Amino acid sequence: MPETRGKHPWLAWTLTVGRILMGQAGVQFINALAGIILVRSLPKEQFAWFTILSAMSALVSCLGDSGLQSGLMVIGGRVYRDREDFSKAVVTSLRLRFWLTGAALAMVSPLSWVLLTRNGTTPGIAGLLVASTVMGILPAARMGAFVAAVRLQGKYLAPVVADLTGSTVRLCGNIATALFAPLALWATLSASASQWISVQILRKRVSEMVDLSSVGSSEYRNEQIGTIKTLWFPVLFAAFQGQIGTWVLSVFGRHDSVAEIGAISRFSSLFTIIGSIIPAVIGPKFAIHDDYKQLRKIFSFGILYAGMCCGSLILAVILFPKIFIWILGSKYAILENSLVLFFLNGSIGIFTMLVWSLVSNKAWIKGSWLIPLITIIVQIVSAVFLNLSELRQVLWMMIITGIPGLILSSIMATKGILKLKNGINKL
């Protein structure tokens, strides 16, 4: 049950949101500090390599999920009160994740190796860097299922505790890297160690509410495979889209440009803090409520929350750009004219995340394949008019191509809500 039970529902929810925000603020502050240490200490070439490896890790993580977390939230929203059925759903998701992560590694690892060699590494060093990244990816493959499990049981703070511990380990590792060996390899090993520790902490918490020795369920397996089949194209697209700036600059730009997008991306921690409330609290609420009025209240809260937070960030970067540049260091002073674009792109991502959370958690995903298709068309058209070797031009491409996803997700959400309002069964 939720950790705030016994209080008025809206008061309890507000307290939960506040606690998660404080916890995530702590996690992201530590992560940001760890990242800034690397930005300031690593040579640009080394930081470019680390940026490529971070993109590899994020890409494999997304492909390893392939909609499974959404599928588990849908199933778990029905059976979370039944320990046996809930255990089967979680274990089934974990097994599917294992195979998907293996397939993703087989595809992404060679690509990362090629990009590393193109940006100045030797073949041997590139192989060592990829291997050190895989060491963190493999245990982290279970993270999505563990996080969904504890959130459905109302233990919203459990992932925050795991993240906080892992982030602290990463910070210590990055400090050691900066002091003794400012190399991408040690930074990558530090990240892998933090991922492993976070997963172990969360696994212990999940084992208290889930029987991890369960045999799984063919019924749940088929249902989750059905979700994968429906979402594979949007997920595959989103996986690459999430790191599109790094991939584009790795191919068309120089290692300086790759380092610059890696540096400015340190401010993504601010959007991670804002966005953490969506999957942690708002998403599970979408999953377990079928009442039109309740969903409307939850969604309205999300819109107000996202608007206030993103608006404040954009205003701050317009008024005080030099403070943000000071954080990154003088090596990246050239980024001052790119800050507003980066924060605008992040804000579009937050609103898209909110709308998609409603759509995916209610399984209103019919027609979701249109999102990547239209976005790819917009990307191709915009690429004709933009210089993809420059960071500012790539940021404009990211902004332009982020808009179709927000519009189409909003249309899907509107259709679902109207059908729910009119008493029609879910799509």
Q: How confident is the model at residue 114 (pLDDT cuts 50, 70, 90)?
A: very high
In a domain, 11, yes or no: no
**387 falls within a domain:** yes
Q: In terms of residue numbers, what domain contains 116?
A: 21-421
The answer to whether residue 6 is domain-embedded is no
CA–CA separation, 135 and 374 (whole Å): 36
Residue 9 lies in a domain: no
By the 10 Å C-beta count (0-12 exposed, 13-18 middle, 19+ buried), 125 is classed as middle
Q: What is the C-alpha to C-alpha distance for residues 17 and 149, in angstroms, rounded to an integer? A: 18
Q: Is the pLDDT of residue 42 over 60?
A: yes
pLDDT, tens only, 312-356: 999 999 999 999 999 888 888 889 989 999 999 999 999 998 888
Burial class (CB in 10 A: 0-12, 13-18, 19+), 257: buried
Residue 170 pLDDT: 93
Answer yes or no: is 12 within a domain. Answer: no
Report how far residue 152's alpha carbon sits from residue 81's, in angstroms, rounded to the nearest whole number: 9
| pLDDT for the residue 11 | 63
Q: Which two tokens stand for residue 329?
A: 């260091």
Is 50 a domain residue? yes
Instruction: Flag whether 161 is in a domain.
Output: yes
pLDDT beyond 80 at 285: no
Average pLDDT over all residues of the chain: 85
* pLDDT value for 16: 66
In a domain, 427, yes or no: no
Please determine, for residue 424, whether its predicted confidence score (pLDDT) is greater than 80: no
pLDDT band for 427, please (50, 70, 90 cuts).
very low
For residue 4, pLDDT over 50 is answered with: no
How many domains, in total, are found in the chain? 1
